[in-house]
């Protein structure tokens, strides 16, 4: 079977997810809410499995990582220290035509012909046009009169303007339906009233300049409301008629309240790969503006600027903020990590690709704290260098940030392989020096090749980010130390002792390296030069006494993206042909048993045979405390298998007459059917639990 096109495939996946209860649109009965998703019965199970596997792998199976469960709303200072208040924004463009909003860095380049207009003017009917001309002429006359301080002429011109305005006002019922004319009148009246006031109070001693200013304003206002000088452009794609561009441009000026706009000066220009036009209607986009992604709220009963709070945009910051408490209470020593899973919220400009970019999602983050390289060198004599690919093996005391970073990249890949995402389904992106934040040393994104991912020139899927693993230096703890005034450093007895044994040249070299790194951080963070130098010197002196702020390696993954990857990876269509040659295509979700929402389907062969049912219920109760089981006695066995295949259940057990001892040698055995190849085997009930646990854990 030919591979379905990516969006067709996604459509099938989305529809299956809804039909089988994996994922529903949030608030669907009210039309949904963009960027928010709910997990149904099967989705909730797979989510639990994913989080539990991550938690077990990252904390319980290791001696050097402990957990944390922090609040979603935290002190707003945290988000200042982390940089989120000032810089957590995406560049955003609006379509000037349809008003839709796009993330500037995600706009698909387009080619075609740009139709450019220098502006437009309202087409008025004869009466309005005549009144308008007279109003403009009177305004011209008033400007001249005020320049010559000719009060008589000025008053006459002004009376003429009043008269015209009154006539126009009388026509209001007719023209008020035309928002443009009505607005123009209102706008003219404001400076006009000011002019009237000026004329009535300073008869002999008229402020010439002010009168001229007001008259110029009146004229400009009139002009502005009938003549638009704002240029615009619209992209015409191949095959579209030029009238389409004109129609869109006219609609653009109409929305700006120009009545029956007549376009001015049309020019055409070929456009190649431009990101300046709306992907939907070809309308001109505004230039990118930063848009902060944090959701704001208030805590306490008063909504004021003093009690603004943010829904956390990541789980990581709580780990940094609680670093000292965890360090002091957990008896861990650097290197060690703190792990947390939980909700995060980002007001994404364009949520898209199903759950991939949501506004509410879950993260699984580890902050792994390590010694600075200077401390490692002082203690072990040198810092191990490892190749940029491949697992560097078991952690060593001589590992600096680079080895730890590589270690975590590879550990995370192992995790994905362990739940069914083979290396071939993954991609990697190592951020370039230009892409890296100023404090980061390296960042590798692990990508999954989603059906909607971009493709390279050979047509191969490139993949989208599942997880980022960043070497963030000591930036985060340093920021919290500066903003909170509380020490975030640790004392390392091993370092203090080792330092004492170094020769002077080594001490000077390591001190210098540490001083320079601290100075760079402090100056980049806006600390004034003299203070930065003083503080960096103190930090370097501290290092010599065994004090430092730990550096951090951060593997940061998204639960929802991973679930989507698992579903896409598992989605398999098979076509069965029956004896009569009739074909039917059905879906098998080939989840790894570890993540599968239901581990085993339990099926009595016949539901009207009480002995079989009794035995099946016994098997269910035997397994239920250990895993998620699904008891199914409805329909033919074939249909029941198919239903479980579609839910991704890796094993189905059938309790039949042989289980009851019809063939004595098969007494108390069941048939186990494997989802992926349909193979069956017979197992004693007494061995079931161990057999299954070995495969699902």
Residues engaged in binding ligand ATP (CB under 6 A):
314, 346, 348, 357-358, 361, 363, 465-468, 556-558, 560-561
Pair 338, 58: CB distance under 8 Å? no
Beta carbon of residue 556, minimum distance to ligand ATP (angstroms, whole number): 4
- Which 3 state secondary structure label does DSSP give 23? strand
Count Cα neighbours of 674 within 13 Å in the Cβ-side half-sphere.
11
Query: For the chain, how many helices (H) and strands (E)?
Result: 22, 27
Residue whose C-alpha is closest to residue 509's, from 374, 399, 603: 374
- Which 3 state secondary structure label does DSSP give 280? coil
Question: What are the residues whose beta carbons fall under 8 Å from the beta carbon of 176, sequence distance 6 or more?
Answer: 182
The smaller minimum CB distance to ligand ATP, of residues 449 and 518, is found at 449
Beta carbon of residue 107, minimum distance to ligand ATP (angstroms, whole number): 15
Beta carbon of residue 360, minimum distance to ligand ATP (angstroms, whole number): 8
Beta carbon of residue 525, minimum distance to ligand ATP (angstroms, whole number): 20
The smaller minimum CB distance to ligand ATP, of residues 362 and 645, is found at 362
Beta carbon of residue 278, minimum distance to ligand ATP (angstroms, whole number): 22
Distance CA 573, CA 687 (A): 32
Beta carbon of residue 365, minimum distance to ligand ATP (angstroms, whole number): 7
Beta carbon of residue 356, minimum distance to ligand ATP (angstroms, whole number): 6
The smaller minimum CB distance to ligand ATP, of residues 96 and 561, is found at 561
The smaller minimum CB distance to ligand ATP, of residues 317 and 659, is found at 317
Neighbours of 186 (CB within 10 A): 11
In the chain, how long is the greatest CA-to-CA distance?
124
Question: What are the residues whose beta carbons fall under 8 Å from the beta carbon of 472, sequence distance 6 or more?
Answer: 437, 439, 440, 441, 551, 552, 553, 554
The smaller minimum CB distance to ligand ATP, of residues 89 and 196, is found at 89
Neighbours of 42 (CB within 10 A): 24
Residue whose C-alpha is closest to residue 676's, from 566, 590, 595: 590
The smaller minimum CB distance to ligand ATP, of residues 132 and 317, is found at 317
Pair 375, 397: CB distance under 8 Å? no
Distance CA 187, CA 343 (A): 49
Beta carbon of residue 696, minimum distance to ligand ATP (angstroms, whole number): 25
Long-range CB pairs of 521-530, under 8 A, 24+ apart, other chains included? 521/439, 521/473, 521/474, 521/475, 521/478, 524/438, 524/439, 525/478, 525/479, 525/482, 527/482
The smaller minimum CB distance to ligand ATP, of residues 248 and 357, is found at 357
Beta carbon of residue 348, minimum distance to ligand ATP (angstroms, whole number): 5
The dihedral region occupied by 661, where left means phi > 0, alpha psi between -120 and 50, and beta the remainder, is left
First to last CA, the chain: 34
Beta carbon of residue 77, minimum distance to ligand ATP (angstroms, whole number): 20
The smaller minimum CB distance to ligand ATP, of residues 140 and 465, is found at 465
Beta carbon of residue 311, minimum distance to ligand ATP (angstroms, whole number): 13
The smaller minimum CB distance to ligand ATP, of residues 217 and 466, is found at 466
The smaller minimum CB distance to ligand ATP, of residues 234 and 466, is found at 466
Query: Which residue is it, tokens 């016949």?
Result: 606
Angle 6-19/559-570 helices, nearest 10 degrees? 100
Residue whose C-alpha is closest to residue 655's, from 593, 611, 695, 696: 611
The smaller minimum CB distance to ligand ATP, of residues 192 and 361, is found at 361
Beta carbon of residue 470, minimum distance to ligand ATP (angstroms, whole number): 7
The smaller minimum CB distance to ligand ATP, of residues 284 and 560, is found at 560
Bridge partners, residue 336, by sequence: 369
Pair 421, 448: CB distance under 8 Å? yes
In the bound state, the residue with its beta carbon closest to ligand ATP is 558
The smaller minimum CB distance to ligand ATP, of residues 559 and 655, is found at 559
The smaller minimum CB distance to ligand ATP, of residues 314 and 474, is found at 314
Say whether the peptide bond before residue 193 is cis (omega within 30 degrees of 0): no
Distance CA 636, CA 49 (A): 30
Distance CA 519, CA 534 (A): 9
Beta carbon of residue 468, minimum distance to ligand ATP (angstroms, whole number): 4
Write the CA distances from 647 to 39, 70, 93, 353, 600, integer angstroms. Answer: 14, 34, 41, 22, 11
Beta carbon of residue 292, minimum distance to ligand ATP (angstroms, whole number): 13
Residue whose C-alpha is closest to residue 291's, from 464, 102, 98: 102
């Amino acid at each position: 079977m030919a591979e379905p096109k990516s969006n067709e495939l996604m459509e099938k996946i989305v529809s299956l997810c809804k039909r089988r209860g994996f994922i529903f649109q949030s608030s669907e009965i009210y039309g949904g809410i963009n960027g928010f998703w709910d997990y149904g019965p099967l989705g909730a199970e797979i989510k639990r499995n994913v989080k539990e596997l991550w938690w077990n792998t990252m904390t319980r199976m290791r001696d050097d990582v402990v957990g944390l469960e922090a609040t979603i709303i935290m002190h707003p200072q945290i988000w200042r220290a982390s940089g989120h208040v000032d810089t957590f924004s995406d560049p955003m463009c609006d379509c000037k035509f349809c008003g839709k909003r796009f993330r500037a860095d995600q706009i698909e380049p387009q080619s075609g012909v740009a139709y450019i207009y220098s502006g437009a003017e309202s087409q008025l009917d004869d009466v309005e046009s005549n009144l308008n001309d007279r109003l403009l002429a009177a305004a011209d006359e008033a400007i001249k009169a005020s320049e010559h301080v000719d009060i008589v002429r000025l008053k006459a011109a002004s009376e003429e303007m009043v008269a015209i305005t009154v006539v126009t006002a009388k026509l209001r019922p007719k023209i008020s339906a035309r928002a443009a004319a009505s607005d123009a009148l209102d706008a003219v009246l404001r400076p006009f009233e000011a002019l009237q006031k000026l004329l009535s109070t300073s008869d002999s001693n008229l402020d010439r300049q002010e009168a001229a200013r007001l008259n110029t304003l009146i004229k400009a206002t009139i002009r502005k409301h009938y003549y638009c000088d704002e240029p615009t452009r619209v992209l015409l794609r191949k095959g579209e008629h030029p009238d389409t561009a004109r129609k869109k441009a006219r609609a653009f000026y109409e929305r700006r309240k120009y009545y029956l706009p007549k376009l001015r000066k049309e020019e055409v220009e070929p456009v190649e790969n431009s990101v300046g036009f709306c992907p939907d209607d070809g309308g001109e986009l505004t230039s990118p503006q930063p848009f902060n992604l944090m959701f704001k709220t208030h805590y306490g009963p008063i909504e004021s600027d003093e009690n603004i709070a943010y829904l956390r945009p990541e789980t990581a910051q709580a780990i940094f903020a609680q670093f000292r408490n965890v360090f002091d209470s957990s008896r861990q020593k650097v290197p060690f990590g703190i792990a947390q899973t939980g909700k995060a919220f980002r007001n994404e400009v364009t949520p898209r690709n199903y759950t991939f970019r949501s506004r509410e999602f879950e993260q699984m983050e580890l902050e792994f704290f390590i010694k600075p390289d200077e401390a490692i060198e002082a203690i072990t004599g040198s810092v191990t260098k490892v190749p940029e690919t491949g697992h560097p093996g078991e952690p060593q005391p001589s590992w600096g940030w680079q080895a730890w970073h590589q270690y975590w990249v590879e550990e995370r890949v192992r995790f994905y392989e362990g739940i069914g995402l083979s290396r071939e389904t993954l991609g990697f992106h190592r951020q370039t020096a230009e892409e890296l934040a100023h404090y980061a040393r390296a960042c590798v994104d692990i990508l999954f090749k989603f059906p909607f991912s971009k493709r390279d020139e050979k047509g191969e899927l490139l993949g989208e980010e599942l997880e980022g693993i960043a070497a963030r230096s000591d930036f985060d703890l340093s920021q919290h130390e500066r903003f909170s005034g509380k020490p975030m450093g640790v004392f390392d007895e091993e370092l203090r002792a080792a330092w004492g044994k170094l020769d002077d040249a080594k001490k000077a070299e390591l001190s210098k390296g540490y001083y320079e790194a601290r100075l760079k951080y402090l100056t980049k963070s806006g600390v004034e030069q003299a203070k930065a130098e003083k503080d960096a010197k103190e930090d370097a002196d501290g290092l010599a006494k065994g004090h430092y702020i730990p550096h951090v390696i951060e593997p940061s993954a998204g639960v929802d993206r991973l679930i989507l990857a698992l579903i896409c990876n598992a989605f398999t269509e098979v076509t069965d042909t029956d004896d009569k040659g009739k074909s039917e295509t059905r879906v098998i979700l080939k989840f790894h048993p570890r993540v599968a929402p239901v581990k085993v389907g339990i099926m009595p062969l016949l539901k009207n045979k009480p002995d079989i049912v009794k035995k099946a219920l016994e098997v269910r109760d035997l397994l239920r405390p250990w895993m998620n089981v699904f008891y199914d006695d409805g329909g033919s066995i074939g249909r029941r298998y198919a239903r479980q295949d579609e839910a991704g259940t890796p094993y189905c057990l059938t309790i039949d007459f042989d289980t009851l001892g019809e063939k004595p040698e098969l007494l108390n055995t069941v048939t186990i059917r494997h989802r992926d190849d349909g193979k069956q085997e017979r197992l004693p009930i007494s061995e079931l639990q161990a057999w299954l646990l070995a495969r699902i854990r």
